[in-house]
Chains A and B, each alone.
Chain A
Amino acid sequence: MPTIDPEAVVGSRITNQSLSRWLHSLPGVDKVGLEARTASLGTRSIKTASKAWALDMAIQMMDLTTLEGADTKERVRSLCLKAITPDPTDLTTPQPAAICVYGDMVKHAKEALGKNKIHVAAVATAFPSGRASLPVKIADTKDAVNAGADEIDMVIDRGAFLSGNYLEVYKQILAVKAACLRKDGTRAHLKVILETGELETYDNIRRASYLAMLAGPDFIKTSTGKVSVNATLPITLLMLQAVKDWFDQTKIQIGVKPAGGIRTAKDAIKYLVVVKETAGEKWLTPKYFRFGASSLLNDVLMQRQKLTTGHYSGRDYVSVD
């Protein structure tokens, strides 16, 4: 995998000052314009064959998620079985990309998934707040990787970011990325959660995206799903624009994962339209775009059944999870 030279990108030795200068030199984001563009893309009308394609792609891009204090081995096993056979009435239904769980549930998920190619993603680094010391975050990450996690979803230190301590945020991402290394030399995929709802402004979100991308993750991700504002379409468009510009500049392709609040097939299709018309077709693959969602799958399954059978079934015709 190609890598970048962060100093070349920033144009100087990496210090908090140079990072600050670099991030604050990025073009601003006009809120009204961004939201108007998003609303306009939201009016695309996706029908028939393109709808069928989009629904199947949405399933394959899903990180089927359970992140509750009340999660148990049985709950995780049940979710894994659902991922293996999302719709028992239609075995042509594709499988989601991954199961996303807390670190201590990784082993149960691995066990339930067996040899299946569905990945296990673990949230780590004192998710969702990220308020722990770096050694704890690293230990949290290593624990999940050792348990067999294929992907790590880490959170950035929003406190450090908002107080202008960009170097701290950057160093933490590098440290967690290093902790993703396995003994055999391979590395668990890293997704960096910006927790956009806490960054609040689009300018902050663009800067956080660039700061995270500088550390070389596989994905940047909107949210934990644990705050009041999670993934939104404008935020996702903004992050897709960031990864597209990053790719044009560095030839490194980074993925985007909106998470939290995407509940309907209609919403998911709007996201795919935004992916296509912002980052481009290159991102229309589970390798570079994921949905972090729990209830979304069932709505997509119902829409899929409608396309196949011509009529709506109902909630009792898809399994609860």
Chain B
Amino acid sequence: MFDYSPAPESKDLVKFQASYGHFIGGKFTKPANTFSTINPATEQVLAEISHGTAKDVDSAVKAARTAYEKTWSKLDGATRGKYLYRIARIIQERSRELAVAETLNNGKPIRETRDADIPLVASWFFYYAGWADKLDYAGLGSNPRAHGVVSQIVPWNFPLMMLAWKIAPALAAGNTVVLKPAETTPLTALLFAEICQQAELPDGVVNIVTGFGDTGAMMVGHPDVNKIAFTGSTDVGRKIAKQIAGTDKKATLELGGKAANIVFEDAALDQAVEGIVNGIFFNQGHVCCAGSRLLVQESVQDVVIKKLKARMENIRLGDPMDKNTDIGAINSKEQLTKIDRLVKQGVKEGGEAWAPSCVIPKNGFWYAPTIITGVSPANTVVREEIFGPVLSVMTFRTPAEAVAKANNSQYGLSAGVWSEKGSRILKMADQLNAGVVWANTFNQFDPASPFGGFKESGYGREGGRHGLLSYLKGSN
């Protein structure tokens, strides 16, 4: 038997402090009002984190405002770009450390933080560094202006990557920021604060305030904040939209999703199966654009499901620090409970759940990769975002039916189309009501490509020139 021996990455590559304060005006505050952040794979405490108060938020916004007025808005684009390039290079230099930190705090496998998260983080800073001195060409006429101070709130599924998606374009456009990482995954944002110090970024340009939803609400409500950028659940997105209604605050909201992954009978089936796996089991399915609804043409349903199950038997669930792990830990007990509840609901409504045989570790939060067959667009598991490694399988007979079923969702973030026929792909892309449509691939990200949704998946775009525009206004 060819069993892979344990191949753990070293935990010693990162040293966390026992406790962290907020990062305000270039300095860490004294830890206060702390809560524990854990490793979801072991439930061990990694560090104590400060829960931001109104006073903390206010001093962070003040620091950001001062930095904006006195320093950052006075620098020319090339100089801002210089800082961003510097940050990008430091991220590359410290990539192993950041990958380990992210895996420890989030539970996602080291293979993904090493090969996807951290390289994308660096690429985002490199990409927007290049824009900093070219804002005249962003499409808003000459000399577009920054908004000023931006409050940014990021989720726990890609902690550092979401930070990069937010901070890189904001700084390139000339804004200063106050960012709050999710309460379960604050550590890489705090390491990023150290990187800002290392890059000698002017004090107050980036401020990190940690805490829970109440801290975030204070960041949204603060009167001296000009723009909100939020990635997270549709529920919270709705609250933010209500909170800022009637003010002149701008907002971009990147919310939930329930992507259809559509496999036609003429698709390259083996690669489509890979794409289905990558679409829903990447990052334990904690992906807003995850391909959580499989739509497979009836004529190839049996072969696709058979191949998918065979492929799923090879998925390795376990210690996220092991280099051969494909599926790590669920980020929190709360999330695990939600996934479990929704799958049980799916089975209750007549769905058939199947998971490969895999050993679930004793400690930590885990959910085996699961597919649910025998469900229809009327079922809860097909309608609600599960945000876990759970795939609902449905069939279709014609392209029109595929489009109708795919678009029958409150969300509209992403979709996938699998076909060897180019014209069909283009027609589907045209008809699918989704911000991103992947053809013969899934979950591909690039800083040059805009990303964002329709309907309850939010508004505004991140990435590319479009992502830059969210942080700029015209000069007239």
- By a beta-carbon cutoff of 8 Å, the part of chain A in contact with chain B is 27-30, 32-34, 36-37, 43-51, 53-54, 57, 241, 248, 272, 276-277, 281, 284
Contacts and interface: CB of A to CB of B under 8 A. Distances in A.
Contact of A29 (B1, B2, B270): B270
B314 A277 contact: yes
B4 A28 contact: no
B355 interface: no
Contact of A33 (B4, B6, B111, B441): B441
Contacts of A50: 2-5
B408 to A, nearest CB: 27
Interface string B421-451: 0000000000000000000110000000000
Contacts of A43: 111, 115, 323
Given A28-B268, A47-B7, A281 B2 contact: yes
B306 to A, nearest CB: 8
Q: Is the interface of A mostly helix, strand, loop or mixed?
A: helix
A250 to B, nearest CB: 15
A57 B2 CA distance: 10
A249 to B, nearest CB: 10
B271 A29 contact: yes
A30 B440 contact: yes
Contacts of B152: none
B395 interface: no
B386 interface: no
Q: Which 7 A-B pairs have the closest CB atoms?
A: A33-B271, A45-B7, A30-B268, A45-B323, A30-B271, A27-B269, A50-B5
Contacts of B1: 53, 281
30 contacts: A27-B267, A27-B268, A27-B270, A28-B267, A29-B271, A30-B272, A32-B440, A32-B441, A33-B270, A33-B274, A33-B275, A33-B440, A33-B441, A34-B271, A36-B441, A43-B111, A43-B323, A46-B4, A46-B7, A47-B5, A47-B6, A47-B7, A50-B3, A50-B5, A53-B1, A53-B2, A54-B2, A248-B306, A276-B2, A281-B2
A34 B273 CA distance: 11
Max chain A Cβ within 10 angstroms of own Cβ: one of B5, B269, B271, B314 = B271
Q: Is the interface of B mostly helix, strand, loop or mixed?
A: loop
Given A30-B440, A32-B440, A33-B441, A241 B270 contact: yes
Nearest to B421: A28
Interface in B377-433: 420
Interface of B: 1-7, 111, 115, 266-272, 274-275, 306, 314, 323-324, 420, 440-441
Contacts of A57: 2
Max chain A Cβ within 10 angstroms of own Cβ: one of B111, B268, B420 = B268
A28 B420 contact: yes
Given A27-B267, A29-B270, A33-B275, A44 B2 contact: no
Given A27-B266, A29-B270, A53-B1, 6 more contacts: A29-B271, A30-B268, A30-B440, A33-B440, A34-B271, A47-B7
Nearest to A34: B271
B115 to A, nearest CB: 7
A273 to B, nearest CB: 8
Nearest to A33: B271
B268 A33 contact: yes
Nearest to B315: A277
A37 B274 contact: yes
Nearest to A206: B270
Contacts of B2: 50, 53-54, 57, 272, 276, 281, 284
Nearest to A51: B5
A306 to B, nearest CB: 16
A34 B5 contact: no
Nearest to B114: A43
A51 B4 CA distance: 8
Contacts of A49: 5
Contacts of B441: 32-33, 36
Contacts of A45: 4, 7, 323-324
Contact of A44 (B4, B115, B268): B4
Nearest to A29: B268
B270 A34 contact: yes
A303 B74 CA distance: 59
A25 to B, nearest CB: 10
A57 to B, nearest CB: 7
Nearest to A244: B310
B375 to A, nearest CB: 25
Nearest to B418: A30
A241 B7 CA distance: 27
